[in-house]
Each structure stands twice: as structure tokens, then as C-alpha cells.
Amino acid sequence: MSNRWLFFPAPVSSGPKFVWTGTTTAASGNTLQVSGQVFAGSDGGSSNYFATWGPIRQNTRSPFFEFLFRVKGAYTYSSDWLATVPNGQLSSTTIASGSNILSTSSASIYQTSTSDTIVRLRWTPTSPSGLSTFFGILQAGASLSITLDW
């Protein structure tokens, strides 16, 4: 009897499901205006997502870092998108500006209403001063990227 081996190819990595990039243009209080917003990733990119006005917010009292985006295409409402995220939990997130990465301890997902298209992601930073420092880096012209997986 001869030994026979079956080899199965490793699954091809499809990369992160959601990647958003933009360039900060102006700050208005705790809200950042962003230009050149681009959506990419294995979950459909720009065919399923589009930008909101002032998508980046911070609150240093609570504290939190917030990102808003709109769904379309495969998702009629934000509740449809939320239903695809297992248990409403993201498996990984990266919020970065160049080599500066915002360290976060938790993420919460909110839908503005069941019949709306806005998804609101809110992260609690590991350090309130780290949030202020990171937001301070995001002056006009800074690149920013947010990568999500679920």
C-alpha cells in the first residue's frame, strides 16, 4: 500500500473587509472635515459605502473617537450592515495617521435609526491624553486611515 498525500491550498487572504482613507482639511470644534475620502476592502468598497460630512469626531470628556459613514449597494440600511458583523463586534481595527496609531480598548457600533444609512463607530481610547495627542496630529493635510475587519 502506498502513502498518498492530499494537499489543500491555503485560502487566499482577501485582506481587510473595510478600508477608509482621507485627508484632513479643517477642524470645527471636535469634528474634522476630510477630503478625498476613498472606500476600499473586500466588502465592496465604494459600491457599498460612501462618505458623510465631518466623518471624524472626538470627545475628550467621555472620551471617544468617532467615525461615521453611510451604507449603500448591498446594504439598504445601517441595520443591514450591522447584521453582517458577528455579534456586533469588530475583530480588528486600526486607526492611523502615518506611523501614528490611536490605541483603543473597545469599539461600539451604533445605527442612527433602523431606517437610516449612517453607521457610527465609536472607540474608547486606552488613554484620554493619547486621544488628544492623536487628534492634535490630524491638522489640515494629514492623511488618515481606518481599517476594519469582522
Nearest to 39 by CA among 16, 5, 14: 16
This prediction's pTM: 0.85
Which grid cell sits at 94?
486600526
For residue range 98-133, list pLDDT tens digits in order: 999 998 888 888 877 767 899 999 998 888 888 888
H or E, element range at 16 = none
Sketch the domain layout of the chain as residue ranges: 18-149
Read off the pLDDT of residues 16-48 as tens digits, 9 standing for 90 and up: 999 999 999 988 888 899 999 999 999 999 999
**Higher per-residue confidence, 6 vs 77:** 77
CA–CA separation, 113 and 22 (whole Å): 26
| pLDDT digit string, tens, across residues 45-91 | 999 999 988 899 988 888 899 999 999 999 999 989 989 988 788 99
